[in-house]
Structure formats: structure tokens, C-alpha cells
């Protein structure tokens, strides 16, 4: 028996992608799947690509969904070794960067392969709590402390001296095998943050990478959960209002305020807000100067409005999560501010694995030098 979720997916694919453009008719394809048994339902490359694009369209947290039809999909489900997977991930990063004209790409990996890193590019976070003279107990990105410890335990050699922006190696797992792969520098493009009017901000040595590529996601397609890696381009608030600004991340606002010569003793001077604004200006300016695509939150919100109009014309409801769609600065300037959304997710979609998804203990570890 054909499962309801497979039938719905195939019907949606034929309805949106035009049955006349497919090798098989809808009923032929449904019959083919039925014969092969539901357990072994394997989407074709075209179905997979469609699922990837619709998963983006259905992503309730994403403000950048206007561009969903442009997602390029790489079907690499057939790769056999982890070394091949690593090479594909490097190629993904390089092609996504595309000389700064960032291309949205999704790479589908073989079933059973897991990239442990949450994004292809992540900065190490080193716990140094034993040194009370330090401003923060973590050097680098506190979000990646566990990943850093895992990399070190697998034999990763951290650079000396340790830095706040050390790119972590990829950790890729299949079954009992876990492999560590340092990324080649040519795959990692970064932008040092500079400010158009306040050179003291440049001296803080803040930087961020160009390509946000989610690497621990699964594509939900009918009953299937397929490991995928996908990227878009940054909206500057992600970097400058969260990654670098959050107290639990790089906590850079006090340093930025100091560089701006602001009085940080009284909250009523709004030094946090002024530092936040200038850090966001710096992120947009630096990416622009470096020729790397980035979007500001006003433009992104206007693009989202166009997406909503288009979806309305197509007769589809736009689902959303307000707290993710609203920008983390100047929120009331956004057209999202006064809107309410249905948050329940449609299929196909993307999901992250549970945070505590464990590595198998005592498994053999290999590392590719």
C-alpha cells in the first residue's frame, strides 16, 4: 500500500512541476512506487530537487524565502566514502561562495552520513575558566565549545596561539566511523569587519565568514529523513546583532561601545543600542567592500512581503514563526511587526537533529591529514 505522505508528495510534485514534463505520468509513477514497496521509496533526482526548494519555501523561520525557486540541488546520495563526502562539502562551499555572488545550494548526502558540525564553517570555542583575569570564560564562539572539545579529542591540532576565530575541522560520521577533516583555506572565505567612519572598530579584530551553510539538517520528504547541507547568504543582523553581539556568544557590544568612546556606565545613554547599530553598519559595509553578498534587514523584509504576495497569488498560505522572522534590531520598522502567522510546518521541510544526538562511544576514529 502506498502511504498517504508519499502519495501527497508525488501529487504535489506533479501538480507544481507539470506532469507533461516528466518521463512518467502521475499514475505510472505512483504505480511504480507501489510495486517497489513503500519502504524502498526513493525519490528521483527531480523529486528531491523539488522537495529541497519547497522545504525552503516552507521554512517558517526564514525571511529570505522569496528566492526558493533558485535553490540549486546536488544529488550526491550515491557517494560511497566519507572522503568523497568531504570533497563534496568543500565543493559545496566553494561553489556557494562563487566569488562573492553567493549561490543557494543544497547537497543531498548518502543516507546514514552525518555531519556533526552545525554549519560547514564554525569558529572554535575554548573554555579557559581557570584564568580569572580573562573577560570571558570562553575564547572564541561559546556555541561551539562542545564541537571544539570533540575535534580536539579526535586529534585536531588547534592553531597556536589559540584565536577567537579559528575555523574548526569538519567531523563526519557514518555508523562506527568518525573522521576529522580540516577545511582547506581556499574553501573558507571570511570578511574582517571594518567601519566606514570609526577606525577604532576595525582594530577590534572582529570578522565573520561569508557562507552560512547549515550542515546538520535533515530534509523531511514524506516519511523520509535525508541528510542535507544547504546555504543561503547572510542578513547582517545574524552576525552583528546575534553572533557577535549576544552576551552568550562573542559579547562584542561593550568593546564596540568602548571603541566608539561611549559612556557605558549608564543604561540610559543607550550605549548598547548605539554600539549595536554601528556594528551592524560595519558588517554591511565590510561585506559590501569585500564584494560578498549580504542583505540588510529592511531589504529582506521587503523581499519577504513580495514572497507573501507571490504565495497569495499562487493560492498558498505562508506559514511563519514571528520571533524568527522579526529582525533583532529596530523590529517595529519591519512589515513583519504587526503580522501574525500560523507556525505549524508544512511538508517537505528541513529540521535540525536533537541537540544531544550522540556520537557512538568507543568507535574507531580516523582522520584524514
Q: Does 204 bind ligand ARG (CB under 6 A)?
A: no
Which of 56, 68, 156, 233 does the annotation list as catalytic?
233
By CB under 6 A, name the one of 110, 212, 328, 348 that touches ligand ARG.
212
Q: Return the range that interacts with ligand ARG (CB under 6 A); candidates 30-38, 231-239, 249-257, 263-271.
A: 231-239
**Considering the complex, what minimum distance in angstroms separates the CB of residue 205 from ligand ARG?**
19
51 or 245: CB nearest ligand ARG: 245
233 or 304: CB nearest ligand ARG: 233
By CB under 6 A, name the one of 41, 243, 287, 292 that touches ligand ARG.
243
Q: Return the range that interacts with ligand ARG (CB under 6 A); candidates 21-29, 237-245, 306-314, 351-359.
A: 237-245
Question: Any catalytic annotation for residue 306?
Answer: no
Sequence-separated (6 or more) residues with CB below 8 Å from residue 59: 65, 349, 350
Sequence-separated (6 or more) residues with CB below 8 Å from residue 82: 113, 172, 174, 177, 179
Q: Does 190 bind ligand ARG (CB under 6 A)?
A: no
**Considering the complex, what minimum distance in angstroms separates the CB of residue 214 from ligand ARG?**
6
5 or 72: CB nearest ligand ARG: 72
By CB under 6 A, name the one of 9, 50, 86, 234 that touches ligand ARG.
234
Contact criterion met (CB below 8 Å) for 126 and 118: no
Measured from each CB, the residue nearest to ligand ARG is 232
**Considering the complex, what minimum distance in angstroms separates the CB of residue 2 from ligand ARG?**
35
156 or 233: CB nearest ligand ARG: 233
Which of 47, 57, 62, 122 does the annotation list as catalytic?
62
- Total residues in contact with ligand ARG, by rule CB under 6 A: 9
SS3 per-residue string spanning the chain: CCCHHHHHHHHHHHHHHCHHHCCCCHHHHHHHHHHHCHHHCCCCHHHHHHHHHHHHHCCCCCCCHHHHHHCEEEECCCCCCHHHHHHHHHHHHHHHHHHHCCCCEEEECCCCEEECCCECCCECEEECCCCCCCCCCEEECHHHHHHHHHHHHCCCCCCCCCCCCCECCEEEEECCEEEEECCCHHHCCEEECCCCCCHHHHCCCCEEECCCEEEEEEEEECCEEEEEEEECCEEHHHHHHHHCCCCCCCCCHHHHHHHCCCCCCCHHHCHHHHHHHHHHHHHHHHHHHCCCCEECHHHHHHHHHHHHHHHHHCCCCCCCCHHHHCCCCCHHHCCCCCCCCCCCCCCCEEECCCCCCCCCCCCCEEECC
**Considering the complex, what minimum distance in angstroms separates the CB of residue 68 from ligand ARG?**
12
**Considering the complex, what minimum distance in angstroms separates the CB of residue 227 from ligand ARG?**
17
By CB under 6 A, name the one of 232, 320, 328, 348 that touches ligand ARG.
232
Q: Return the range that interacts with ligand ARG (CB under 6 A); candidates 77-85, 108-116, 233-241, 320-328.
A: 233-241
Question: Any catalytic annotation for residue 238?
Answer: yes
Which of 190, 238, 311, 345 does the annotation list as catalytic?
238
User: Which residues are catalytically annotated?
Assistant: 62, 65, 233, 238
Binding site residues, ligand ARG, CB under 6 A: 212, 214, 232-235, 238-239, 243
Amino acid at each position: 500500500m502506498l502511504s498517504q505522505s508519499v502519495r501527497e508528495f508525488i501529487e504535489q510534485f506533479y501538480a507544481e512541476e507539470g506532469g507533461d514534463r516528466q518521463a512518467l505520468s502521475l499514475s505510472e509513477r505512483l504505480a511504480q512506487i507501489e510495486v517497489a514497496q513503500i519502504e524502498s521509496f526513493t525519490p528521483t533526482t527531480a523529486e528531491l530537487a523539488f522537495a529541497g526548494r519547497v522545504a525552503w519555501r516552507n521554512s517558517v523561520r526564514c525571511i529570505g524565502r522569496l528566492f526558493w525557486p533558485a535553490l540549486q540541488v546536488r544529488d550526491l546520495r550515491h557517494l560511497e566514502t566519507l572522503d568523497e563526502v568531504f570533497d563534496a562539502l568543500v565543493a559545496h562551499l566553494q561553489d556557494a561562495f562563487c566569488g562573492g555572488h553567493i549561490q543557494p545550494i543544497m547537497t543531498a548526502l548518502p543516507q546514514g552520513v552525518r555531519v556533526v558540525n552545525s554549519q560547514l564553517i564554525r569558529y572554535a570555542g575554548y573554555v579557559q575558566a581557570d584564568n580569572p583575569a580573562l573577560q570571558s570564560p570562553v575564547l572564541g564562539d561559546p556555541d561551539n565549545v562542545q564541537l571544539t572539545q570533540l575535534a580536539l579529542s579526535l586529534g585536531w591540532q588547534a592553531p597556536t596561539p589559540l584565536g577567537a576565530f579559528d575555523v574548526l575541522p569538519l567531523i563526519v560520521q557514518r555508523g562506527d566511523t568518525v573522521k576529522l577533516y580540516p577545511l582547506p583555506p581556499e574553501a573558507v572565505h571570511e570578511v574582517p569587519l571594518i567601519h566606514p567612519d570609526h577606525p577604532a572598530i576595525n582594530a577590534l579584530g572582529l570578522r565573520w565568514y561569508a557562507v552560512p551553510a547549515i550542515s546538520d539538517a535533515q530534509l523531511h520528504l514524506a516519511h523520509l529523513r535525508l541528510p542535507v547541507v544547504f546555504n543561503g547568504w547572510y542578513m547582517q543582523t545574524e552576525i552583528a546583532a546575534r553572533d557577535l553581539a549576544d552576551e552568550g556568544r562573542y559579547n562584542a557590544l561593550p568593546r564596540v561601545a568602548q571603541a566608539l568612546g561611549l559612556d557605558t556606565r549608564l543604561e540610559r545613554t543607550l550605549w548598547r543600542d548605539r554600539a549595536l547599530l554601528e556594528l551592524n553598519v560595519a558588517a554591511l559595509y565590510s561585506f559590501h567592500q569585500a564584494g560578498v553578498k549580504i542583505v540588510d534587514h529592511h531589504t529582506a523584509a521587503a523581499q519577504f512581503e513580495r514572497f507573501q504576495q507571490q504565495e497569495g497569488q499562487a493560492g498558498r498560505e505562508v506559514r511563519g514563526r514571528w520571533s524568527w522572522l522579526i529582525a533583532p534590531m529596530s523590529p517595529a520598522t519591519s512589515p513583519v511587526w504587526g503580522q501574525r502567522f500560523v507556525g505549524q510546518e508544512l511538508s517537505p521541510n528541513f529540521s535540525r537533529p536533537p541537540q544531544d544526538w550522540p556520537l557512538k562511544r568507543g568507535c574507531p576514529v580516523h582522520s584524514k591529514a
